[in-house]
A and B are shown apart, each in its own frame.
Chain A
């Protein structure tokens, strides 16, 4: 029995080796990158997080409805990203989306080996690679999430009664760091006296930690909280909902997740659109480089203000949104960690 199993396994191994070598001779020949048929997405978290990953999944589903073949992998660590991306490429996927700035390096390693594949990264290019050295078949959407965070900061500073506002982040990528810094900048633009406490939880999955963090903040007097950390953030929202603490949602309109009108607004990122619109961009040719979508083209937007926000405050915040979209006020992403 054991021998039979061993024989079967070795046959299987041989076959799979053949299969591997069969794919090798693609490479250079076709560098026509204006067609797309099979699309894969690599996600850092799970598609039920009501947030970052779920919205990418929804974008992918829009693509699927349009008749393309799609696939996705959830919960991919940065350390595994390269092998996941590589295996999609070798399976014939001709458009691979890596959903997060943290995957930049991995994709930059893979991209030169697959000239006929287009890549998309939802985030900025790795800072340690010179712009000229970036592989030409990667599009970096360095979308200005920080513009939304800045606006949230302005709103939080205008709404706080205790003079203390808080930010809860998940950490470990540049988007999150720029969110935090822009939030602080936004608060400071309104008042130099408002105290800001920031917590980086280090995880996007631990709702209980999010709950405890929001509680600790509230106990320290914080009365408006912005969270940008998916599942961890859901825990924070749960606390806010229980205690009636003002909060600001993330990526989609999350106001249905809390009781009453305590969710002032949500900073929404139209990830579904950002992803599904790439297909047209590929077909237009010359795909690659960097784009900086933001408030001005609707990729970043704020959801409808809650009735708790007075008209006067709303007018002030809308003025800020307007001047950012017009380009009068430029929010530069600041990736410094502390």
Chain B
């Protein structure tokens, strides 16, 4: 088909990159949290908090960056709720986080209705516009796909790179690994495991908040209830696929976003495949890749195991 030309492909992948942004933020945060041994299942809820408060702040202050910051902070503060139970009170991490997600879904709707009421549409705020990077954006194809995006998109890439660097090349990264692999040894070497894990979890919350902010301020400029639509859970899968490595997580996010962009375009072009199959396509591919690439998976040894410094 001549329709699959360069313009089509660059539009396809540019859409893939846009849809990958919340996934990159979220999975970067979750990499850190899971490396420290705490499952970041609450990421869906933290994302919702981030999305709502980013929108409210952007609307009230008129500044998009204030919105992004507030979104991140809202995600971070909300992450304290599951952190309290999962780390300090040593409860089951999955259950606390799932409860938190349900709470977040209801509570963000509640706040949304208190602030804006149910009768009027939320007023859209201006969204991040595309800022082409000089020179780089002139590269054919790649320039259009990666270097003609919004600042928020660049920020997501930068944050993943920085996180990767800190995880792999610094003492902090080493401490992170030790807390997730063997918290007892880490404790013995003088790390406060509780504090460390909570800080990692809060970092994850902050990134999830940015992911939420990118959902509301990235292209649509408003908050709608349940706006995350399960993206937090996709992040969890991406982290496993990427083997707790933020750089591979970028690739996985881009893959997921691009397949989503592709399925929309296949429908637009009138593909003869049933639409149910196309809607399921991104998830189907994720499952298949996980099945193929999931063997010899080595997760952080104490992932999901609450740490109790008094027990043996």
Interface residues of A (CB under 8 A from B): 46-50, 54, 57, 75, 166, 171, 196-203, 205-209, 211-213, 215-217, 219-220, 222, 231, 234-235, 238-239, 241, 256-257, 337-338
Which of A48, A196, A198, A241 touches B112 (beta carbons < 8 Å)? A48
Question: What are some 12 contacts across the A-B interface (CB < 8 A)?
Answer: A199-B267, A199-B268, A199-B275, A205-B225, A211-B220, A212-B18, A212-B219, A213-B268, A231-B224, A238-B124, A238-B220, A337-B275
- Encode contact with A along B47-78: 1 for CB under 8 Å, 0 otherwise: 00000000000000000000000000000000
Question: Are A201 and B279 in contact, with the CB atoms below 8 A?
Answer: yes
Question: Are B226 and A205 in contact, with the CB atoms below 8 A?
Answer: yes
User: How far, in whole Å, are A208 and B109 apart by their CA atoms in the complex?
Assistant: 18
Min distance, Cβ A177 to any Cβ of chain B, angstroms: 10
Question: Are A166 and B268 in contact, with the CB atoms below 8 A?
Answer: yes
Which of A50, A220, A235, A239 touches B268 (beta carbons < 8 Å)? A220
> Residue B221 at the A interface, CB < 8 A?
yes
> Residue B227 at the A interface, CB < 8 A?
yes
User: How far, in whole Å, are A235 and B15 apart by their CA atoms in the complex?
Assistant: 14
Interface residues of B (CB under 8 A from A): 8, 11, 15, 18-19, 109, 112-113, 116, 118, 121, 124, 215, 218-222, 224-227, 229, 260-261, 264-265, 267-270, 274-276, 279
User: How far, in whole Å, are A171 and B109 apart by their CA atoms in the complex?
Assistant: 24
User: How far, in whole Å, are A54 and B227 apart by their CA atoms in the complex?
Assistant: 17
Question: Are B118 and A54 in contact, with the CB atoms below 8 A?
Answer: yes
Known: A46-B109, A197-B270. A171 touches B279 (CB 8 A): yes
User: How far, in whole Å, are A78 and B98 apart by their CA atoms in the complex?
Assistant: 21
Question: Are A205 and B224 in contact, with the CB atoms below 8 A?
Answer: yes
Question: Cβ of A171: which chain B residues have Cβ within 8 Å of it?
Answer: 275-276, 279
Min distance, Cβ B149 to any Cβ of chain A, angstroms: 14
Min distance, Cβ B2 to any Cβ of chain A, angstroms: 13
Question: Cβ of A215: which chain B residues have Cβ within 8 Å of it?
Answer: 15
Known: A48-B113, A48-B225, A207-B224. A212 touches B264 (CB 8 A): yes
Min distance, Cβ B214 to any Cβ of chain A, angstroms: 9
Question: Cβ of A213: which chain B residues have Cβ within 8 Å of it?
Answer: 264, 268
